[in-house]
Structure 1
Amino acid sequence: MRSFKLQQHLVLFCIFFIAASSCKKSSTPAEEKKPVVVTERFNINATLVTPSPSFEANKLYQFLKENYGKQVLSGVMTLNSFDETKWLKDNTGKEPAIIGLDFMHCNRNYNWYDNKAPIKDAKAYWLRNGIPVFVWHWRDPSRKTEEFYTDKTTFDISKINDLESAEYKAMIADIDYISGLLKELQADKVPVIWRPLHEAAGGWFWWGAKGAAACKKLYQVMYDRMVNHHKLNNLIWVWTREPNDDAWYPGDQYVDIIGRDIYKQGDHGSQVAEFTALNALYGSKKMVAISECGSMPDVANLTKDAAAWSWFMPWYGDFTRNSAHNSLDLWKKMFASSYVITLDEMPSLKN
């Protein structure tokens, strides 16, 4: 009888174990080789560059730091309120941990646009434990055009050095307006991963049209204006690296995280060469992320190559939905992986 009962107990235990295991995310054989843990690979800065950061900003940064090299956060860029997060939810049953938002249409007096829309979206996603990342396709501050591309506006960023110039005053006015929006999030205890002046060294945006010195100065002026003048302490500052842009880098005291925008259609490799180079360039002290991408890296390649990107974020539209860039099967694979953090797996980082 004891033997029979023991067999019964073993059978019940096996059934319970199998059932419990089936509720967890799967790990494919290709994912079994996990990257070496963060403490053995990196020496990430312990604190944010902002003095006395908000509780939530610090908690978010520590969360990113603790997971760096252990897991990757999923993200997606949006154009209209939750368009891509909803599409992913409808088609995969999951949503990404990070939502990408843009101040592109703000402060332009467009009668068709609600300037508070991105702020509302950021707060709503944060309340669900998601992470808002903001970029700013900054339209011509002079208002002579509605453009941000270098070949469509003659706005002169070099005037950032002339405090009496109309251009300087226009840039400061725009920074002040965006700071006001970010203050609303600060008041609501919402931290923001803030990625201004992205892809500057590429030269295709006006903020990169006059070379490294002017752009570097604008980034530093923006930091000073937002942090010291407006007392914003809920921001995590990201510099978006371009190849060979050492002279453009604002400085370690202005940057928390390094981003890299990678557009290689159909390439789902880990981009480990870029990761390794960036990690070395910044002395293993700055986390690095795929701040934008066309085709996202396959999780099997990320784990195989130990490419410890903090997050990945495909752009909206076809980059998210078209299989030429990212197939639905790949999205499902990513979201099912134990290495990829989705919205439903995010802890509350609130006070």
Structure 2
Amino acid sequence: MLDNRKLQNLLYSASKFVTDVVWQSEYRNLIKEPANPDISSQVRSLLENLYAVRGKGILTGQHEYLEVPYTYTEQVKALTGVYPALKGVEFGGITGQTAEQLDNQRQNVITACKAWHASSGILTATYHAAYPGTAPLWEQVQRKTDQSEFDQIITPGTALYTALLVDMDSVAVYLKQLRDAEIPLLWRPYHEMNGDWFWWGRKNNFPALWEIMYDRFTDYHGLNNLLWVWSANANNQWSDEAKRYYVGHDRADVLGMDIYNNDYNQDYYLELLEIGQGKLTAITENGQLPNMTNIRTRQPEYSWFLTWGKDLKMKNSDAAIQSVFGDPYALNRGEEPSPPETYPPDTTVGDGLLGNYYIGKEFNTLKVTKVIPKVDFDWKKGTTVGDYAMSVRWTGFIKAAYTEMYTLYTNASDGVRLYIDGSLIIDDWIVHSTIENSAAVPMEAGKYYYVKLEYFNNGDPEAVVQLLWSSYGQTKEVIPQSRLYSK
């Protein structure tokens, strides 16, 4: 028989080609089914509500530390007059606590969770797990572990595997208290697995660890109050592609990315949508608060954000915090989505696209980064990088003026690839004289579409490259600066 992962891949592949509307609808509904089919009615209600408000607002969230689970949500309240919708809590010890101290701290977290739930708040939990069988110390969470060691941890019968189960069982004691109190929990263990700073990170069989915990918590301990949140690090220079470590639709209810340094890259968002195929997505950790206008207009599928502990005030001004929590798109504790007419009108004018210019035909050496007003170039007077063997990646957003079918065109000497919202619509990555390519794209007036245009010049000083559009109401033209946004 096929295992779940292979079956999911086959279904996903079929979903791209099957045009039957009923089949597509059934497939999307299947994707939204909970990882644990036996979740409690309270948990199912939370899951359904998260899907119901998706795209209508973003739930605000604030993380609290194990030692002080009441601190930062109160700071939000003091500054803004509202509480965040989500309180994030921690169950992993990292300061060398004794068993008694760790028990007291975890019990205090449970008390905080019960109070938060009683006030109509949503709960999410992180678990910074120490290396199996070791003391609760940060250096044990970040212990360097090679693949062979990790293989021992996930192999039944080894001492490390036994220690792993003991550690899991010690946490399950507290999660059962939430279960018995009928409190749902967005459970987020073993996060940032696509980086190498935690002992579980960058392991080629990471899903096996997730499976052990899922089975232990669900089948052995009966923790049917959990929704499972798979949370990768943003796909930056310190991380691998997140999809390499995905645990599968039958083991995750929400897919998230941890985003710091204000790096709300559209490619991260689109990758989550691609991996999840309709499942919930979230900003599962952040330092700087997100720009709410950009979230609403460019990344509306995110269900929540969760600011990390002390970063609330270390990385954000009081004015920024007040602005975010007071935004009509923000869903704070107890709030329902606002009607769209309450959003401020979009009066922004485009500034162009962000261009990264490289020496070499395959994005070899980054030379220049700058915003350009439009893509309408010939290189007769020289190139931006001083070499005709060059490549460029332009990124940003297109905002259409009409709701209708548009045709997008590339007019280029040598190679071009054009992506809209992560989908490759023009692929002409070969050396040739000037050729026009085109693709039809339905667009809505006022909506932002992420565009990525890649180009290479094989060394021709006569080469050109243009990005154009046309529609029933739009005369064919180079897409103007007023309709292009670099961020």
Tell me the TM-score range normalised by the shorter chain. 0.7 to 0.9
Of residues 204, 213, 220, the one that matches 2:211 is 220
CA shift digits 1:86-105 (9 cap, x unpaired): 11111221110000100012
AA of the residue aligned to 2:313: R
Q: Which residue of 2 aligns with 1:254?
A: 251
SS in 2 for 1:135: strand
The partner residue of 2:115 within 108, 124, 139 is: 124
Are 1:277 and 2:271 counterparts?
yes
C-alpha distance in 1 between matches for 2:219 and 2:69: 31
Offset of residue 346 of structure 1: 6.4
Q: Evaluate the alpha carbon distance shift between residue 174 and residue 275 of structure 1 in structure 2; reply closer, same or farther with a 3 A threshold.
A: same
Identify the match of residue 201 of structure 1 among 186, 191, 194.
Answer: 194
**Please, which of 304, 307, 317 is the counterpart of residue 327 of structure 1?**
317
2:134 is aligned with 1:148: no
Q: Mind listing any 5+ residue stretches in structure 2 that lack a counterpart?
A: 1-24, 236-240, 338-487
SS in 2 for 1:207: coil
Within 1, Cα distance between the matches of 2:145 and 2:244? 24
- Residues 64 and 308, structure 2, Cα contact 8 Å, conserved in 1: yes
Structure with greater proportional strand content: 2
Q: 2:213 corresponds to which letter in structure 1?
A: M
1:240 alignment counterpart: 231
CA–CA distance in structure 1, aligned partners of residues 293 and 112 of structure 2: 32
The percent identity for this pair of structures is: 29
User: Partner letter of residue 338 of structure 1?
Assistant: P
CA distance in 2 between counterparts of 1:168 and 1:192 reads 26
Distance 1:292 1:306, change over 3 A: closer
- Give the structure with the higher percent helix: 1
Query: Unpaired segments of 5 or more residues in structure 1?
Result: 1-39
Worse overlay, 301-310 or 133-142: 301-310
Select the residue among 293, 318, 332 that pairs with 2:286: 293
2:82 is aligned with 1:89: no
Indicate if the aligned counterparts of 2:57 and 2:331 stay in contact, CA closer than 8 A.
yes
**Aligned equivalents of 1:236 and 1:145: distance in 2?**
25
1:301-336 CA-to-partner distances (Å, cap 9, x unmatched) read 21232432110111111x1012xx222112111221
- The match for 2:38 is 52
Q: 1:143-183, CA deviations, whole angstroms, 9 ceiling, x for partnerless residues?
A: 26723343467893321343221110010011112112111
Structure 1 residues 330, 224: CA separation in 2 closer, same or farther (over 3 Å shift)? same
Quote the Cα distance in structure 2 between the aligned partners of 1:282 and 1:55. 24
- Aligned alpha-carbon RMSD (Å): 2.5
Q: Partner of 2:376 in structure 1?
A: none
Is the CA contact 2:58–2:302 (under 8 Å) kept in the aligned structure 1?
A: yes
1:303 and 1:111, CA in 2 relative to 1: closer, same or farther beyond 3 A?
closer
Q: Which has the higher contact order (CA 8 A, sep 6+)?
A: 1
Q: Secondary structure at the match of 2:101?
A: coil
Offset of residue 262 of structure 1: 0.5
Distance 2:51 2:140 in 1: 33
Q: 2:53 aligns with which of 59, 64, 67?
A: 67
Structure 1 residue 199 displacement after superposition? 0.4
Structure having the higher Rg: 2
Distance 1:82 1:98 in 2: 13
Letter in 2 for 1:252: H
> 1:77 deviation in Å?
0.7
TM-score (norm 1): 0.78
1:50 is paired with a residue whose SS is coil
Picking from 128, 132, 136, the partner of 2:127 is 136
Q: How many residues are aligned here?
A: 298
Give the Cα separation in 2 of the matches to 1:339 and 1:313.
15
CA contact (8 A) 1:71 1:339 kept: yes
CA contact (8 A) 1:293 1:314 kept: yes
Please tell me the residue identity of whatever aligns with 1:249.
Answer: Y
Q: Name the TM-score, length of structure 2 as normaliser.
A: 0.57
SS in 2 for 1:60: helix
Range that drifts further, 222-231 or 301-310: 301-310
Tell whether the 8 Å contact from 2:59 to 2:330 is kept in structure 1 after alignment: yes
Residues 158 and 145 of structure 1, relative CA distance in 2, 3 Å threshold = farther
- The answer to whether residue 165 in structure 2 is matched with residue 167 in structure 1 is no
